[in-house]
Amino acid sequence: MPPSSPIPFRNCRWLALAFALVVTARADFLEKVHDSLSLNDSQDRFHFQLSGLVDLETYFIDQPAPGLIFSSRNFLLNPRLRLFLDAQIGSNIYLFAQTRVDRGFDPSDDGAQIRLDEYFIRYSPAKNINIQIGQFATVVGNWVQRHDSWQNPFINAPLPYENLTGIWDTGAPDETDELLEWGHVGEYDTRDYSDKYLRLPILWGPSYSTGAAISGSCGRFDYAAEMKNAALASRPESWNITQTGFEDPTFSGRLGFRPNEMWNLGLSASGGPYLRSNAVPDLPPGRGIGDYRELVLAQDLSFAWHHLQLWAEFYEARFEVPRIGNADTFSYYFEAKYKITSQLFGALRWNQQLFGTVRDEDHRSKWGNDIWRIDAALGYRFTDYLQAKLQYSFSRQETLRNGENLIAAQVTLKF
Amino acid sequence: MRCGFSILSLIVGLTAGSLRAQVVIEGTVQLPKPSFDRGLNQRYATAPDIALAPTNPPAAVVYLEGDFRAQAASAQKSQAQVAQKNVAFAPDLLPILVGTAVEFPNMDETYHNVFSYSKIKRFDLGRYRKDEKPSVVVFDKPGAVTIHCEIHERMRGTILVLETPYFQKTDTAGRYRLEHLPPGNYVLKAWVAGDDVRQRPVELKTGMTLHVDFPAK
């Protein structure tokens, strides 16, 4: 474990100043800002709305940094600006775009960067049919709908969306020992975590890959299906159409059922290749990227009544690994949010990921470290436009003697 | 003799009452342009299969401001209602007397979550169904309370809590008519939206009908 680095107080002062500014920002002023960022024509043929989220986020981390946090330090400041454009043209066409300025798609030590993370056009030819094309979040599961910092009761994502496995997308293992090394399993854990960015989770965050989707609802049923250029596990660089084409597409779908307003149940499935083109030299002769897929089955449910909301997702994932065979893993979480007062809410989440075994010479070996994590968060909405959250997480991985702690704080200004 | 005096008192009282009833202010408030009728397009969710109410045309509330705390305190406060119907608040502008209880029935086949972070009344009703007993909120401080639905961003409403019993919501053309006003010197105000509050001092005399228009700021 690297030595603890001192907290950069210059950053803290900057953070405190920014926090003071947003706390004193009047809600009616921010409402005016929101209204002044809209544009519509006199005949109401179109309406453009520019809006945004400013996140000031800090992490106090035990090393190695958990999940999709890319930092070798114990303290990380991660500011982020998201700009959204929602455009309604007539009653049939809707456009959406999201641009981010931050230190990387996931929290990291990197310098500032600007990206167009999402853009799509949605055409609704009939009441229950929506067709959209562009780069957008996956239809799988139920976390995407609350993944932005304003809606998410926590600061990080559930375990299936960020816990890294030993699967790489830039190369294929020559033998089982290499896969176990990549997964840092037991005696294969070299304590060198510089390979972190090469590893893949079951789903990489909201998976803003590129493609086309059809969705709609019919009575108490919802349906959605998509064809995308990258698998659910693929890293953000793979989502862009300039990086990954449609030679080996991923197909995903979700069928939802709402027996009443309280319950929402869903079944999802996805299948598509997870390897990038630079893995091709590592593949057995005659094999291509399309021969090795990530297959996912998922079940989700949500419940809401008065001030209580519950969510759960269950993911059964299989990676088809060259020369080794199927590597299976199962991950799930239960999440609860309760509004204690009109402005204060608390949230709890239990996450777990379990790994199956792979063929290892004359026996079978577990290909990942089982892990559980508990997340607890408190959030406070000062106004319609300002929210603060504090989160504590404790995780325990089977090969690490001690558990890992994470404390995170986030202030979000919405405009 | 006593009987004759009582009849005389009654006649004087009725006459005074009828004269007071004749104090009227009427006019027009110039309203802002109607807002764009926002659909239900959500970034990550399929829109529910519900007919959407069109966005209500703008309206204003005209009220007489003065020291009416005694009348407001003694006035009969009936329960008011703001329904959630076709993914809109109905009505989306409700003037009430301070101390009035407002119930929020859900008339849709989907959840709503009405909340307000306005300083004078903060509340969050949570998610509740159509067939549940609606929540009731008592508005005990004067001011404008902005209400939203946490689930449907298109839903916005205002409850204007007033300390005067003399108020009226305009029609969609901005016309209003306040009747049965007490004589005296007051300020006539028109609440249009947010901080767009227009005002005029008025001197009311028994039997008069005053015409006051409120042009746009």
Q: CB of A343 within 8 Å of any CB in chain B?
A: yes
pLDDT at B20: 46
Q: Determine whether A297 is exposed, middle or buried from the number of CB atoms within 10 Å of its CB (0-12, 13-18, 19+).
A: middle
Among B17, B90, B4, B12, smallest CA distance to B53 is for: B90
Query: Model confidence over A326-367: pLDDT tens digits?
Result: 999 999 999 999 999 999 999 999 999 999 999 988 899 999
pLDDT at A15: 61
CB atoms within 10 A of CB A134: 18
Of the CA atoms within 13 Å of residue A405, those in its CB half-sphere come to 5
Mutation target to probe the B interface, by most B beta carbons within 10 A, among A140, A261, A305, A307 is A261
Query: Model confidence over A180-216: pLDDT tens digits?
Result: 999 999 888 888 888 999 999 999 999 999 999 999 9
CB atoms within 10 A of CB A42: 6
Please check the confidence at residue B3 and state whether its pLDDT lies above 70. Answer: no
Q: Do B44 and A137 touch (CB under 8 A)?
A: yes
Q: Alpha-carbon distance B158 to B121, whole Å?
A: 12
Amino acid at residue number B93: L
Domain with B25, as residue range(s), is 2-211
Looking at the domain assignment, is residue B217 inside a domain? no
pLDDT at A14: 61
pLDDT at B193: 85
Domain A128-414 has CATH 2.60.40.10: no
Q: Strands B209-211 and A325-339: what pairing?
A: unpaired
Chain B CB contacts of A44 under 8 Å are 36-37
Please check the confidence at residue B13 and state whether its pLDDT lies above 60. Answer: no
Mean pLDDT of A159-176: 96
Q: CB of B44 within 8 Å of any CB in chain A?
A: yes
DSSP per-residue string spanning A103-141 = SSSSSBS---EEEEEEEEEEEEEETTEEEEEEE---SSS
Q: Which tokens sit at A301?
A: 């449910």
Query: Model confidence over A22-51: pLDDT tens digits?
Result: 655 566 677 777 778 888 877 767 888 999
Asked whether B92 and B157 are in contact (CB, 8 A), the reply is yes
pLDDT at B5: 45
Which of A38, A122, A304 is nearest residue B111 as measured by Cβ atoms? A304
pLDDT at A27: 63
DSSP tally for chain B: helices H, then strands E? 2, 17
Q: What is the CATH number of the domain that holds B109?
A: 2.60.40.420
Please check the confidence at residue A3 and state whether its pLDDT lies above 80. Answer: no
Cis geometry, peptide bond prior to residue A64 (ω within 30 degrees of 0): yes
**Top-confidence residue, B168 or A191:** B168
Q: Do A260 and B36 touch (CB under 8 A)?
A: no
Please check the confidence at residue A233 and state whether its pLDDT lies above 50. Answer: yes
- Beta-carbon contacts of B6 under 8 Å, excluding residues fewer than 6 positions away, are none
Chain A CB contacts of B44 under 8 Å are 137, 144-145, 147
Q: Alpha-carbon distance B118 to A206, whole Å?
A: 33
Query: Model confidence over B51-91: pLDDT tens digits?
Result: 777 777 889 999 999 998 888 777 777 789 999 999 999 99
pLDDT at A74: 92
Please check the confidence at residue A4 and state whether its pLDDT lies above 70. Answer: no
Chain A CB contacts of B110 under 8 Å are 261
Q: Alpha-carbon distance A119 to A83, whole Å?
A: 12
Q: Do B194 and A32 touch (CB under 8 A)?
A: yes
Mean pLDDT of B104-130: 93
Amino acid at residue number A225: A
Asked whether A252 and A139 are in contact (CB, 8 A), the reply is yes
pLDDT at A211: 98
pLDDT at A30: 73
Report the percentage of chain A scoring pLDDT > 90: 77
Looking at the domain assignment, is residue B216 inside a domain? no
Provide ipTM, 2 decimals: 0.84
Among A177, A180, A161, smallest CA distance to A355 is for: A180
Query: Model confidence over A82-128: pLDDT tens digits?
Result: 999 999 888 889 999 999 999 999 999 999 999 999 999 999 998 88
Going across the sheet that includes B101-103, the strands are B80-81, B101-103, B136-138
pLDDT at A286: 94
Which of B46, B109, B126 is nearest residue A224 as measured by Cβ atoms? B46
Residue A138 confidence class, pLDDT cut points 50, 70, 90 = very high
- Give A404's strand partners: A395
pLDDT at A28: 67
Instruction: For chain B, give the mean pLDDT.
Output: 86
* Domain range summary for chain A, segments of one domain joined by +: 128-414
Q: In Å, how far is B135's CA from the nearest CA of chain A?
A: 11
Mean pLDDT of A209-235: 96
Looking at the domain assignment, is residue B168 inside a domain? yes
pLDDT at A371: 96
* B positions 49-88 inside 8 Å of A (CB): 49
Please check the confidence at residue B21 and state whether its pLDDT lies above 70. Answer: no
A-B CB pairs within 8 A amount to 80
Q: Alpha-carbon distance B118 to B120, whole Å?
A: 6
Q: In Å, how far is A207's CA from the nearest CA of chain B?
A: 12
DSSP per-residue string spanning A41-109 = -TTSSEEEEEEEEEEEEEEEEPSSPPTT-B-SSSEEE--EEEEEEEEEETTTEEEEEEEEEESSSSSBS
What 3 state SS string does A271-282 have?
Answer: EEECCCHHHHHH
Alpha helices in chain B (DSSP H): 2-21, 69-74
Please check the confidence at residue B50 and state whether its pLDDT lies above 80. Answer: no
Q: What is the total count of domains within chain B? A: 1
Q: In Å, how far is B108's CA from the nearest CA of chain A?
A: 10
Mean pLDDT of A219-224: 93
Q: Alpha-carbon distance A84 to B41, whole Å?
A: 14
Q: CB of B32 within 8 Å of any CB in chain A?
A: no
Residue with tokens 């009220």: B63
- Beta-carbon contacts of B174 under 8 Å, excluding residues fewer than 6 positions away, are B28, B29, B30, B31, B59, B60, B214
H/E stretch holding A20 reads: helix A9-24
Looking at the domain assignment, is residue B10 inside a domain? yes
Q: Do A144 and B44 touch (CB under 8 A)?
A: yes
Q: CB of B47 within 8 Å of any CB in chain A?
A: yes
Looking at the domain assignment, is residue B61 inside a domain? yes
Q: Alpha-carbon distance A173 to A176, whole Å?
A: 7
Asked whether B68 and B99 are in contact (CB, 8 A), the reply is no
Q: CB of B150 within 8 Å of any CB in chain A?
A: no
Q: CB of A4 within 8 Å of any CB in chain B?
A: no
